[in-house]
Amino acid sequence: MSTVAVPSPPPTASEDAESLRKALQGWRADKASLIGILCRRTAAQRAAIRRAYAFLYREPLLNCFRYKLSRHHLLSVDFWKALILWTMDPAERDANLVHEAVKKKDENYILVLIEVSCASTPDHLMAVRNIYRKLFSCSIEEDVASSPALQEPLKKMIVSLVSSYRYAGEHVDMDVAKLEAAQLSEAIREKQLHRDEVVRIISTRSKSQLRATFQQYKEDQRTDICEDINRQCSSQFGRTLKSAVWCLTSPEKHFAQVIRYSILGLGTYEDMLTRVIVSRAEIDMKQIKEEYRARYKSAVTLDVAGDTSFGYRDMLLALVGSED
């Protein structure tokens, strides 16, 4: 469920655009006003604000944010990056995140590809792929397939995942679930997760069908499939497959873990923290907070507040929302 608290009734898009213009004036923008407006608007409302701003002032709102980002020192960089991502259309945002991720060698950026392809609805993933082609004059599949940062067999699985268009209904075939649970069990037991049937199952079956398959696996093996993947396959492929399984069937588990990793220890992985909070605030942030509290005996708001500062902290907390 969304944690975005929209005022009732909200101002018009033109009124919000005018307020944003005032907040952006001068050397130091009024970050509190920017947060108070944009972090309390839905994606559709933010899109309307961008259109109104461009009409009224003959320049794109995101360009204004990027100009401010280029002029500010390190303390404001994370705030402006987060604000830009949040103000984007969700599919446009994910297309940009994927484009950045395919150029990186860091394993943490591979998670972006898994999150967008597996935690999204089929229609959202299709929208991301369409916008990606328009923005970058090539397909996601092309860029993933040609990425020097990805090696086989991981590359093959990710290409399959980003290319998928799954059935989105609730129908489940239990005969298929039993068969494919057995196929997954054999592949894990023999430490051959890269088998074609594993990639096919993970990249083509509906999320409802996969839940049934993983439940059948648990009944047959008396253990969770992700536990067996961890125990039997410690490779990068195994870790990525586990993330895909979670994103497909229990995304709150994956995103709670990413938040925890991003703030654990010295320093903060700001890109990871920003990505999760911005991308999930309108989808399932409430479930992520519940999972985080159950697993780590702490609150997302408390840990985020303790590891970030200034406008960046205030923006993230506004999107995370209050703890129940």
- The residue among 282, 235, 293 whose CA lies nearest residue 89 is 282
| CB neighbourhood size of 148 (10 A) | 8
Q: Is 121 annotated as a binding residue?
A: no
Q: Is 119 annotated as a binding residue?
A: no
Rounded to whole angstroms, the Cα distance separating 319 from 288 reads: 13
Kindly tell me the sign of the dihedral angle through the C-alpha atoms of 77, 81, 84, 87.
negative
Rounded to whole angstroms, the Cα distance separating 20 from 10 reads: 14
Q: Is 256 annotated as a binding residue?
A: no
Q: CB-based contacts of 234: which residues, under 8 Å, 6+ apart?
A: none
- The residue among 194, 196, 187, 257 whose CA lies nearest residue 228 is 187
| CB neighbourhood size of 249 (10 A) | 21
Rounded to whole angstroms, the Cα distance separating 122 from 111 reads: 18
- Residue written as tokens 């923006």? 315
- Residue written as tokens 């430490």? 191
Q: Is 307 annotated as a binding residue?
A: yes
Q: Is 188 annotated as a binding residue?
A: no
Rounded to whole angstroms, the Cα distance separating 37 from 105 reads: 36
Q: Is 26 annotated as a binding residue?
A: yes
Q: Which residues does the annotation place in the binding site?
A: 26, 263, 267, 305, 307-308
Q: Which residues does the annotation place in the binding site for Ca(2+)?
A: 26, 263, 267, 305, 307-308
